[in-house]
Amino acid sequence: MKRLCLLLLLGIATAAVADEGMWTFDNFPKATVQQKYGVDIDDAWLARVQRATTRLEGGCTGSFASPDGLVLTNHHCARSCIGDLSSAQDDFIEKGFNSGSRAGERQCPGELVSVLVGIEDVTAKVNSATAGLADAKANEVRKQTLSRLESECTSANSKGKGGAFFCESVTLYQGGQYFLYRYKRYDDVRLVFAPEQSIAAFGGDPDNFNFPRWCLDFSLMRVYENGKPARTPDYLQWRPEGPSVGDAVFVPGHPGSTSRLLTVEQLKFQRAVSFPAYIARNSELRGRMIEWAKTGDEPRRIVDETLLGLENSLKVYRGLESALLDDRLMEFKATQERDLRARVSGDAKLAQQSGKAWDDIAKAQARYRDIYDRYAYLESGTGFNSKLFAYARLLVRGAAERAKPNEQRLREYADSNLSKVSAGLLAATPVYPEFETLTFAFSLDKMRETLGPDDAIVRRLLSKDSPDSLASRLVKETKLADPAVRKALWEGGAAAVDAAHDPMIELARSIDAEARALRKTYEDEVQALVNAGQEKIAKARFAVLGTNVYPDATFTLRLSYGDVRSWVEKGQQVEPFTKLARLYERTTGADPFRLPQTWLDARSKLDPNMPFNYVTTNDIVGGNSGSPAVDAQGRLVGLLFDGNIHSIAGSYWYDEKLNRAVAVHPGIILAALRQVYGAEALANEIVGKRR
Amino acid sequence: MKRLCLLLLLGIATAAVADEGMWTFDNFPKATVQQKYGVDIDDAWLARVQRATTRLEGGCTGSFASPDGLVLTNHHCARSCIGDLSSAQDDFIEKGFNSGSRAGERQCPGELVSVLVGIEDVTAKVNSATAGLADAKANEVRKQTLSRLESECTSANSKGKGGAFFCESVTLYQGGQYFLYRYKRYDDVRLVFAPEQSIAAFGGDPDNFNFPRWCLDFSLMRVYENGKPARTPDYLQWRPEGPSVGDAVFVPGHPGSTSRLLTVEQLKFQRAVSFPAYIARNSELRGRMIEWAKTGDEPRRIVDETLLGLENSLKVYRGLESALLDDRLMEFKATQERDLRARVSGDAKLAQQSGKAWDDIAKAQARYRDIYDRYAYLESGTGFNSKLFAYARLLVRGAAERAKPNEQRLREYADSNLSKVSAGLLAATPVYPEFETLTFAFSLDKMRETLGPDDAIVRRLLSKDSPDSLASRLVKETKLADPAVRKALWEGGAAAVDAAHDPMIELARSIDAEARALRKTYEDEVQALVNAGQEKIAKARFAVLGTNVYPDATFTLRLSYGDVRSWVEKGQQVEPFTKLARLYERTTGADPFRLPQTWLDARSKLDPNMPFNYVTTNDIVGGNSGSPAVDAQGRLVGLLFDGNIHSIAGSYWYDEKLNRAVAVHPGIILAALRQVYGAEALANEIVGKRR
């Protein structure tokens, strides 16, 4: 009892308390799950689900739906691919995409799909490399060590094992543990099927993060190897009936990022500095995009994907800010921190090792406030919101960095990252000059507003130009929209890049020294202190709480558990399942509540009582999009695509009373394939009826 | 010493501590000023300055600059008039306005200018009317009493005294005192002179609230009576040399609103609820306006005034939010409140009278959170951002309210307010349908996003329409853009309004019951508790601190004191005066750093060392725009137009180290009139050279 109270006090709830945690597969709380749900999750179950779960490198999860490389994910996870394959004449966002046959499956530019195949704990190696070093030096050596370990691991594993493998380091518990994760990677990913966006994202931004909900947010892709569908024997079988209320469901996936282990000062930094700036800036950008979209059909089509992403992020950031402005949350965090610090102070060894960590992190946050704006605008890209500028920077830095030994490079240019970088750079994704000019001019405008018109770089860029005229000229004159030009420059290295005299490249080069200097200041004076401090706090936490805790999300493989359950919103119980009938009642005929003709036509063929979406208590976050909901037998019973509005605060804490994940029911997917879209063969492939 | 410490502890600094306070003329701290600056401010000085200071009912201050009714104010205070008088062909915003002679002076539609001529303390009358009543009832009776007192005062004063007089009640110290203020009002206000906006607002939004600064933010208007320039013997003489560093300056004016006496829970409500919503919503609107402005010269011209106001407000709200996210401020407020509460608890009588006030206000804030969104969108106009809708609501409610006895009406339709209401409603200001549609559709869109697509009213309005289609149709079909139509309906009352079948009026009518119900809930369950609580806190504060304190700003006449002084920004001293030369160095040729041709042409004629703008320590806030800076001898030595970025936090506290007011130097105004614009006669009128 004493232990439980302590845990409660420290706010790190255990499974007995709530369906909390995005657990690593090697530390899944099997006993808790057995106790709470009467379900035995054994190692075979875990191994099979792990191999059936994919990571979409764009930031999503998927699952194998057949032995032939078929991947189920969300429509919004394939949105970028669908958009890239579309044109004004052939708009698959609007009309959906149905390959019809394997020959009709079309490759997604730059798309990468990975499967985690092994993990290795390298904490001891990293710690021994940094032992005794001052914070800034330790930070540098840590990065070098991780680059080296990744490179060695990739070399050791990529040979003679069939397919492409690569290794990525993973920092868990904010530095409490370091791992190497080994992935099998597929770089030939093809679009198989996608419904119309109007049904996939029915309700649009108003409904986003809300429930009840009616979104057919699924798509199907297929991974290929050597030009043929990949063999994926560890796929998930489906249970078309879905789950019932109270059924245990498990969600494997790659949750992107949570902030549950941040210190109070780090939370206050988000609350007072980064989030308000983000929200104001991007709300304005949202307005600019929406208004531009009204200038024509093609602008509307072009803006759509970026706008959806932006609106989603805005809702998230506003929700996070709101959580941090909730006294209950901040008082909880303050209490949690105060109690852990008291435990640390009360133990001489712990105090010596970790006692100063919180103050060090606070100092780092204060320093970060000083440099935040310039760092964000000049180094992190806030001032140069342009795909073409991003290409230019990749080319300029890529040339400089690749000339260095692997360990000396900026981390994103380490060998282990280069294939991702080049896949993005070389992918034949469309560039829309007018839209590029809009976002680029906007970011220059905000840079002047934020850094001030008398800032040295602002003055240099905008002494004779307005943000509009500068952006417009650069977008017009650069050649980087052409993938062949980018390829030649990437492969040509520094000499080719120098000789190009491309104005966007010249811009990237002209600010590079200043941007790198800001990054160095950030890394040495902010990041180094935070990392060192968090490593110390992690050690203290392990000492006090043991390792039966889960780390913050890091876009790496996790497993959460929960069940299908209603919740109470403003005194009203929200039923956990929605049904088809109400979809038809809610349509207004105008976006985003417009139903596609296929659904209007199919109405009479469909059972109005069919379940559509449902909610579970699983602890999930962005990155879990596309995650399968899996039952105790390892069968797919749903497709996660969202959380309710309370789930946003899940970045900081998990509240089982309110926090819900939102899933598409498998039955509606199969019904749609068969009865709405006539995609019988695909439905059969999924349910295992061989052709 | 004990008294001073207590004051310090309670954070209500006295004059000896800082140049703090927006003081009423009847409670100006003469002794403190004499002690700190060696200046005697006597009653004659105060009386003359009071009569020379005008209120522009649009939200600004002005001062008489000649005995012939000439009013000096800011360009941005005349901006709305200048815009209303402009057209695509004749754009006085772009090219400036020079009447040339009195015959060329043009009336500003709807503009009203007032001068405070007398005040009466009615605290006892109000308190006796509400004594012993429950909060909601007291709130109602208080409003009725104020309407009655205003009406009686206006009747008693308007007869046989020459010119129009009216009375307004004023609540000081959040309910500690009630006054009747008696004004002389001018409703024939004409534009005399305005420079080009590009020099008046040089640096635009990026420079706004910043310093160093180069804005010629002045304009001249003239008040007329019976078709002739009004006689204004109590004008301010100018001192063209301006002040020197360290000179005492006094700023009379009508500061709009401060929040220094709010409780911590009220501040948290702003921080967590109203400000974040405001900032996100209006940042998006800003983006929509900016993008729309790019569609043509006329859209750019049309959008300009609204956009300037919006950007200014956004900067203010972001500054306020940032102040409330500053731990120093919130800890200061919490300490201040805790200490006052401790004093109250320690005194049985005070405890009985005021002890529960803070908790009552906290309860009111919690209730406000529940209803805030619907109240804001349906009653406060957030959901109907349209001039035409505002007309419609005024007509619908005006008809209903005017049929009731004065005291029973909603306060804004009380007799004392009707002349203002009708002046706004009937003024021949332009309506731009495309822009109306933009703002209206935007607000409907946000209403759906905020209240949700399943809210009953949202559902009713948008079940078949999109926000765009609804707004577009209503703007097209309503006749309310025509002032003659509005006049007929206003004068025709309920019968005419009912018979009109105007779609915008029908919309206003269709939501009126729900909107009024929300207002009633707000007034009874939020406002009533807050008012009662604040009245009690005010009594406690007087009991503990005496009356040598100043009330929060209420857009009524105040006087602040201070001197011309530099401050230190990030380790650098900021010189208090800017000079002309740097203006020419900072121009980029592109808005908002573009100089008008007149200034490029006049460059050689002007002394580059001429002072341009300067800063003082005066405690000011929005509403002080257009305030004169007055020296010890009562001469004008500057024209206030802004504060530095730190002045925004002045809404909550005054920090003499950082808080600065920004003024235009009188010398540059006279030089501009003579050497740039050839307006010699006007310059002569100002300096008292008779023609």
For every residue of B535-552, DSSP letters joined together read HHHHHHHHHHHTT-S-PP
Cβ–Cβ of A276/B327 closer than 8 Å?
no
Q: Give the three-class secondary structure for A571.
A: coil
Say if residue B265's pLDDT is above 90: yes
* A211 and A86 Cβ atoms separated by less than 8 Å: no
Q: Does B274 touch chain A (CB under 8 A)?
A: no
Identify the CA nearest to A431 among candidates A466, A392, A475: A475
Inter-chain CB pairs, A–B, below 8 Å: 121
> Which residue of chain A comes nearest to B324, CA vs CA?
A272
What pLDDT is stored for residue A449 in this prediction? 96
Whether B241 and B379 map to the same domain: the answer is no
Per-residue CA distances from B687 to B217, B235, B251 (Å): 19, 11, 20
Last residue of a domain, one of A491, A520, A549: A520
Closest-CA distance, B595 to chain A, in angstroms, reads 13
Chain A residue numbers with beta carbons less than 8 Å from the beta carbon of B291 are 287-289, 291-292, 438
Q: Pairing between strand B228-229 and B219-225?
A: antiparallel
Can you tell me the distance from the alpha carbon of B281 to that of B286, in angstroms, rounded to the nearest whole number?
9
Can you tell me the distance from the alpha carbon of A673 to that of A683, in angstroms, rounded to the nearest whole number?
6
Q: Does A572 touch chain B (CB under 8 A)?
A: no
Residue A195 φ then ψ, to 5°:
-75, 175
Is residue B579 in some structural domain?
Answer: yes
pLDDT band at residue B161 under the 50/70/90 scheme: low
**B-proximal residues of A, 42-71, CB under 8 Å:** none
Is residue B229 in some structural domain?
Answer: yes
> Which residue of chain A comes nearest to B591, CA vs CA?
A466
Closest-CA distance, B16 to chain A, in angstroms, reads 33
- Expressed as residue numbers, the domain containing A106 is 51-112+187-254+557-687
Can you tell me the distance from the alpha carbon of A303 to that of A624, in angstroms, rounded to the nearest whole number?
25
DSSP label at A594? Answer: P
Chain A residue numbers with beta carbons less than 8 Å from the beta carbon of B448 are 206
Sign of CA dihedral A465, A466, A471, A477: negative
**Cis omega (within 30 of 0) on the bond before B592?**
yes
What pLDDT is stored for residue B548 in this prediction? 82
Can you tell me the distance from the alpha carbon of A395 to that of A492, in angstroms, rounded to the nearest whole number?
10
Is residue A399 in some structural domain?
Answer: yes
Whether B426 and B495 map to the same domain: the answer is yes
Chain B residue numbers with beta carbons less than 8 Å from the beta carbon of A372 are none
Residue B553 φ then ψ, to 5°:
-65, 145
Cβ–Cβ of B283/A283 closer than 8 Å?
yes
Closest-CA distance, B645 to chain A, in angstroms, reads 12
Q: Does B455 touch chain A (CB under 8 A)?
A: no
Identify the CA nearest to A218 among candidates A675, A665, A676, A681: A665
Q: Does A367 touch chain B (CB under 8 A)?
A: no
Is residue B11 in some structural domain?
Answer: no
Whether A99 and A210 map to the same domain: the answer is yes
Closest-CA distance, B232 to chain A, in angstroms, reads 42
Domains: count for chain A? 2
**Helical pair B2-9 and B327-345, crossing angle rounded to 10 deg:** 130
Cβ–Cβ of A453/B283 closer than 8 Å?
no
Whether A467 and A606 map to the same domain: the answer is no
Can you tell me the distance from the alpha carbon of A193 to that of A679, in angstroms, rounded to the nearest whole number?
9
Last residue of a domain, one of B496, B531, B566: B531
Q: Give the three-class secondary structure for A351.
A: helix
Per-residue CA distances from A325 to A276, A657, B262, B291 (Å): 12, 20, 18, 32
Structure tokens at B483: 């002032």
Cβ–Cβ of B283/A287 closer than 8 Å?
yes
E strands of B53-112, at which residues? 53-56, 60-64, 70-73, 97-98, 106-107
What pLDDT is stored for residue A416 in this prediction? 87
Q: How many CA atoms lie within 13 A of B287 on its CB side?
A: 27
Chain B residue numbers with beta carbons less than 8 Å from the beta carbon of A284 are 283-284, 286-287, 290
Say if residue B18's pLDDT is above 90: no
Q: Does A307 touch chain B (CB under 8 A)?
A: no
What pLDDT is stored for residue B2 in this prediction? 36
Say which CATH number the domain at B207 has: 2.40.10.120
Is residue A580 in some structural domain?
Answer: yes
Whether A497 and A578 map to the same domain: the answer is no
**A-proximal residues of B, 410-449, CB under 8 Å:** 438, 448-449
Cβ neighbour number for residue B686 with a 10 Å cutoff: 24
What amino acid is encoded at B195 in this protein? P
Cβ–Cβ of B280/A284 closer than 8 Å?
no
Cβ–Cβ of B464/A588 closer than 8 Å?
yes
Can you tell me the distance from the alpha carbon of A640 to that of A663, in angstroms, rounded to the nearest whole number?
4
Chain B residue numbers with beta carbons less than 8 Å from the beta carbon of A286 are 284, 287
Last residue of a domain, one of A520, A543, A568: A520
User: Any residues with CB less than 8 A from the CB of A74 and at least 6 apart, and which?
Assistant: A60, A200, A217, A218, A219, A625, A626, A639, A641
Chain A residue numbers with beta carbons less than 8 Å from the beta carbon of B276 are 279, 318, 321-322, 325
Q: What percent of chain B has pLDDT over 90?
A: 92
Whether A656 and A516 map to the same domain: the answer is no
Radius of gyration in angstroms for the set of CA atoms belonging to chain A, rounded to a whole number? 25
Cβ–Cβ of A325/B272 closer than 8 Å?
yes
User: For B537-590, how does the pLDDT look when each residue is reduced to its tens digit (9 = 90+)?
Assistant: 999 999 998 878 899 999 999 999 999 999 999 889 999 999 999 999 999 999
Whether A478 and A578 map to the same domain: the answer is no
Which of B462, B586, B593 lies at the smallest CB-CB distance from A588? B462
Per-residue CA distances from A455 to A449, A458, B572 (Å): 10, 5, 15
Closest-CA distance, A347 to chain B, in angstroms, reads 30
Instruction: Report which secondary-structure segment, H or E, holds B121.
Output: strand B113-121
Closest-CA distance, B108 to chain A, in angstroms, reads 32
Cβ–Cβ of B291/A288 closer than 8 Å?
yes
Chain mean position to CA A375 = 22
Which of A206, A327, A452 lies at the smallest CB-CB distance from B448? A206
Whether A564 and A513 map to the same domain: the answer is no
Whether A225 and A88 map to the same domain: the answer is yes
Residue A343 φ then ψ, to 5°:
-60, -40
Is residue B367 in some structural domain?
Answer: no
Whether B561 and B671 map to the same domain: the answer is yes
Q: Does B606 touch chain A (CB under 8 A)?
A: no
Whether B490 and B561 map to the same domain: the answer is no
Q: Does B315 touch chain A (CB under 8 A)?
A: no
Query: How much is the average pLDDT of B45-62?
Result: 97
Q: Does B296 touch chain A (CB under 8 A)?
A: no
Which of A292, A322, A466 lies at the smallest CB-CB distance from B276? A322
Q: Does A268 touch chain B (CB under 8 A)?
A: yes
**Cis omega (within 30 of 0) on the bond before A592?**
yes
pLDDT along chain A (691 residues), means of 10: 37 56 96 95 97 97 98 97 95 97 96 96 96 95 96 79 82 93 96 98 96 98 97 97 97 97 98 98 98 97 95 97 97 96 96 96 97 97 97 98 96 91 93 98 98 95 94 98 97 94 97 98 97 95 88 97 95 96 95 97 97 98 97 98 97 96 98 98 90 45
Can you tell me the distance from the alpha carbon of A685 to that of A667, in angstroms, rounded to the nearest whole number?
15
The distance in angstroms from the start CA to the end CA of chain A is 58
Cβ–Cβ of A469/B590 closer than 8 Å?
yes
Q: Does A466 touch chain B (CB under 8 A)?
A: yes
Chain A residue numbers with beta carbons less than 8 Å from the beta carbon of B284 are 283-284, 286-287, 290
Can you tell me the distance from the alpha carbon of B296 to that of B304, in angstroms, rounded to the nearest whole number?
12
User: For B167-192, how does the pLDDT look when each residue is reduced to its tens digit (9 = 90+)?
Assistant: 999 999 988 899 999 999 999 999 99
Whether B77 and B200 map to the same domain: the answer is yes
Q: Give the three-class secondary structure for A533.
A: helix
Instruction: Report which secondary-structure segment, H or E, holds A537.
Output: helix A528-545
Q: Does B572 touch chain A (CB under 8 A)?
A: no
Can you tell me the distance from the alpha carbon of A167 to that of A154, in angstroms, rounded to the nearest whole number?
5
User: Any residues with CB less than 8 A from the CB of B444 and at least 6 apart, and which?
Assistant: B383, B384, B461, B462, B467, B470, B471
What pLDDT is stored for residue B5 in this prediction? 34
Per-residue CA distances from A131 to A172, A283, A407, B64, B630 (Å): 18, 45, 18, 74, 66
Say if residue B158's pLDDT is above 80: no
Which of B206, B295, B589 lies at the smallest CB-CB distance from A449? B206
> Which residue of chain A comes nearest to B285, CA vs CA?
A287
Q: What percent of chain B has pLDDT over 70?
A: 96
What pLDDT is stored for residue A7 in this prediction? 37
Whether ipTM tops 0.85, in short, is yes
Chain B residue numbers with beta carbons less than 8 Å from the beta carbon of A442 are 287
Is residue B366 in some structural domain?
Answer: no
What pLDDT is stored for residue B558 in this prediction? 98
Closest-CA distance, B438 to chain A, in angstroms, reads 9
Torsion angle, alpha carbons of B415, B416, B419, B420, to 10: -130
Say if residue B16's pLDDT is above 60: no
Query: How much is the average pLDDT of B654-662?
Result: 96
Is residue A612 in some structural domain?
Answer: yes
Which of B286, B289, B463 lies at the smallest CB-CB distance from A588? B463
What amino acid is encoded at A196 in this protein? E
Can you tell me the distance from the alpha carbon of B571 to that of B568, in angstroms, rounded to the nearest whole number?
6
What pLDDT is stored for residue A162 in this prediction? 56
